[in-house]
A and B are shown apart, each in its own frame.
Chain A
Amino acid sequence: MTDARPLLTIEDMRIHYDSVRGSYKVVDGVDIEVHRNEIFGLAGESGCGKSTLVEGILRLIEPPGHIRSGTALFRPFPEDPERSLDLVQLDYHAMREIRWKHLSYIPQGSMNSLNPVMRIRDQMTDVVMHHEPGGQDEVSRNIAAALEMVGLPESLGALYPHELSGGMKQRVCIAMAMLLQPALVMADEPTTALDVNVQRAVLETIAHLRDQMGATVIFVSHDLAVHAELVDRMAIMYAGVVMELGTVYEIFDNPQHPYTKRLIHSIPALGGPRERLESIPGMAPSPLAWPEGCRFHPRCPDAMPACSTTTPRTIELDTGRKVTCHLFDPDIDLEQGSA
């Protein structure tokens, strides 16, 4: 089966920001595989490194930040699924060729990323002309098709960004990201500033990319309810590392990591019995000095002596189901901490 190779394999990704006070280890050893034609969710509290990870994959990290180590093997060529590009190693020009064409991005607050003094159509034309120069008619046809896909009329191309509502601008950004039908789209909190009705329309548009266009999406959101509604598989991040990874059903039906359990229980649901929600006590740690051992142990209700001394390994519970916690490691002495 040719599709067996994942579209994107990230291994040991570390993204650090240097400062006079030391190194901020914002992303600190992430391993993730993203399969073809799935929506992969990245969830976690603010500061857990989920946006930085996406920026790292796109090579948008600016000094003083840098990719300390890691590989991101990207296999966007359907005719040759074995051929891979290591996104971390590509130079500026090679990366420029890949962006938009094979790998596109819907940034956080993307409605503010449109150029205010250019008509929508002209901004979209720029993207097409850079990568696949073609005749006027062909370009217009592509733009009209992309706008239609996100439920917007072609006539909207003649407008300026300030003439659109927030949800329409967000959908323009999705249309732009899909213009050249890239293999992978990364959406960073695309619905955070939107009303629920608009949020639903945008989420349905993203699901449509997967179902009708065959796209693969990495979807970043702090809102677990949105993940439950949209994604196929997901990773829960905390303090720069992945704490738990599995299908959306595994994560919600049967969370394993104490952090995941807490996170799910801290969010109110609509309808049903009204139980008092539990918050996660304590503060999120600083990326300048993550806690020793397991990074969650100071806030963890199930912490054992080993958790404060030994860094937990990632344990594969089942195929593709991973958890980074000592409680699931058969080889560790929880009272002592020596593996």
Chain B
Amino acid sequence: MSEALLAVDRLSVVFRDTGLFQGNKTTVAVDDVSFELPSEPTLVTIVGESGSGKSTLARTILGLQRSASGTVRYRNRDLSGFRGADWHAFRREVQPVFQDPYATYNPFYRIDRVLKVLVRKFALASNDSDAEALIEDALRAVDLRPQDVLGRYPHQLSGGERQRVMLARVYMMKPKLIVADEPISMIDAALRALFLNILLDFRDQGISSIFITHNLATAYYLGGRIMVMCRGRMIEYGDMDQVVLHPSHPYTQLLIDSVPSHNPHHRWQEERSEYAVDASEFVFSEQACVFEARCPHAMDICHHQRPPFVTAATKASQQSACFLYHDEYRPDQA
């Protein structure tokens, strides 16, 4: 068995709000999440509503957020045991791309600096001309012309260009893994395709990606695997095509059903009832499914016990945390 690139095991992240007036309040942002990235290049997309914990999960994988329990192992080494030199190596191999291309740059420095500091810090080139060649090569790889970008300040570039400079930066590092948190939500449709295609090209060159989005059509385009999160829990995981075309968890079904069809001949048929929209204040419970209050198929057991992860339906490549797929609770068995 080949060693996994990244293994997340029973990871939980808890925020404690020790407010002056409110007393102690805890928020479980990530709740008992486990998954693995294989050693071969893979794209894993994480989808879910806002507040589902997908960004927190990404930050924890990047080592920017402390976990409450569970482990993140990179190439079989636990992140919590990392020291200075380990982090340096980790930062070289695992590269982030953040959501807001307007907030990630220092406005006082030219674009060149973002790329040159990297060359220096990680000793990517031995002399200046090598460094320049490397930078220009990276910019061309993300479909930018070096003369359009170099020497300019961040405010002179569009959002799409800034996000691509970030990808050029990533490309120079030749990382093993990219963790991209909503990288295309702030760029135009015509440029999104370009960004997604770059990620696909990177995969073909051996770079894995964890891609976070709330846009399911984008997720589907990337293929690979998909993880659906709801209120901190991973509720479905599997092959993209299987999950998107045959969603097993009622929450995933709801999400897929809400995606605009892109074809005016196939519009939504009937208006949906109220369960779709999450208006309730969520009370965290160890003893219930996270979706029970909204679920149209909720059974008695769902309110009292947490559904473990099981293989849904007939496909081994699709797992779901739902009692509908537990033999003893299936409605048709009762």
Write the residues of chain A forming the contact surface with B, with a CB cutoff of 8 angstroms.
45-46, 151, 165-168, 195-201, 203-204, 208, 222-226, 228-229, 248-249, 252-253, 262-263, 266-271, 274, 276-281, 283-284
Contact = CB atoms under 8 A, between A and B. Distances in A.
Contacts of B260: 199-200, 203, 223, 225-226, 228-229
A167 B216 CA distance: 19
A231 B127 CA distance: 58
A225 B268 CA distance: 12
B220 A268 contact: yes
Given A197-B255, A225-B261, A228-B263, A266 B193 contact: yes
Q: Which interface residue of A226, A271, A280, A281 has the most chain B CB atoms within 10 A?
A: A271
Contacts of B23: none
Contacts, number: 130
Contact of B189 (A222, A270, A281): A222
B261 A197 contact: no
A226 B215 CA distance: 12
B150 to A, nearest CB: 16
B220 A271 contact: yes
Contacts of A262: 190
13 contacts: A195-B50, A196-B258, A197-B258, A199-B258, A200-B268, A201-B272, A222-B188, A253-B264, A266-B189, A266-B193, A269-B217, A270-B217, A284-B188
A197 B217 contact: no
A238 B332 CA distance: 55
Interface string B128-147: 00000000000000010000
A166 B221 CA distance: 28
A280 B220 CA distance: 21
B39 interface: no
A268 B258 contact: no
A229 B197 contact: no
A277 B258 CA distance: 22
B193 A228 contact: no
A45 B278 CA distance: 30
Contacts of B190: 45, 262-263, 266, 279-280
A165 B196 contact: no
Nearest to A281: B143
Nearest to B218: A268
Given A165-B278, A248-B264, A267 B193 contact: yes
Contacts of A249: 264-265
Contacts of A222: 188-189
A149 to B, nearest CB: 13
Contacts of A166: 50
Contact of B279 (A45, A168, A200, A208): A168
Contacts of B49: 195-197
Contact of B193 (A45, A229, A271, A279): A279
